[in-house]
Chain A
Amino acid sequence: MSDTGKTVRATVKSDFNDAGTERKFAAGETHELTAGEFENYRAAGLVEATGKADAADTSKPARAKRPRTPRVAKTAS
């Protein structure tokens, strides 16, 4: 993926280092990564998008159905 200036907030799944940038990442940390960096690290199973794991838990509960109210027919007055 190319870097288009877009960044991704990522959670580190396991400790790793980047030899090119000399950045160190520790498990549990969150980092702002370029889209390209994120795609490479994600492909290797090193990071995941922050909030992705919680997404299922935080989804809105299904809305209760509103009782249907019968329409009142308009009467000419």
Chain B
Amino acid sequence: MGSQTAAGSSLAISAATPATLDAAGYTALTFTDIGQVEKLGSFGASFAKVEFQPLKGAKQKYKGSADYGALQPSIAIDSVDAGQTILQTASDDETQKLYSFRVTYQDGAKRFFQGRSFGSPETADGADSMLMATPTIEICTKVVKVAAT
């Protein structure tokens, strides 16, 4: 499939870590879907820009360190949702434990990575809005992409 909408995409979490950081390692894990996700936001690696301006010639640009980015989903709080509870546990976790995440797109393509949740602030906005949480999941490993089958 070529283009697709974001509808039907999902975010899931696992308390376990894969034996290998590849598709086989991640697909062996059991993930629990996080319910009531409104938006996933953008995620993916970006590289620091290293520049050098020689006295003679144009500015040179190099790729520096990779930053795998962060996922900032917006979620309507559901206190009895298992996936949200695991994510909240990850947010409250004061250790450096990594949790595994899976993003599934409408066509079945998947993105796997490990990360740490650096908090999950809650937003109580106007009367006609849902109570929302906006966790920040810092991605700590390369994002493994698995195409739709």
Contacts and interface: CB of A to CB of B under 8 A. Distances in A.
Determine the main DSSP class of A at the interface with B. Answer: mixed
A21 B83 CA distance: 11
Given A19-B82, A44-B89, A2 B15 contact: no
B28 interface: yes
Given A36-B16, A40-B86, A43-B89, A17 B81 contact: yes
A43 B117 CA distance: 15
Interface string B76-114: 001011110110110000000000000000000000000
Interface string A35-52: 111011111111000000
B23 interface: no
B81 A40 contact: no
Give the bracket for the number of chain B residues in contact with chain A.
20 to 34
Nearest to B83: A19
B34 A19 contact: yes
A37 B80 contact: no
A18 B32 contact: yes
A18 B15 contact: no
Contact of B85 (A2, A16, A34, A37): A16
B12 A20 contact: yes
A47 to B, nearest CB: 10
Contacts of B89: 43-45
Interface residues of A, number: 23
A10 to B, nearest CB: 12
Given A39-B15, A44-B89, A16 B33 contact: no
Given A20-B33, A39-B15, A2 B28 contact: yes
A34 B81 CA distance: 18
A2 B81 CA distance: 21
Contact of A18 (B14, B28, B29, B83): B83
Contacts of B15: 1, 39-40, 42-44
Interface of A: 1-3, 15-21, 25, 34-37, 39-46
Interface of B: 10, 12-16, 19, 28-36, 78, 80-83, 85-86, 88-89
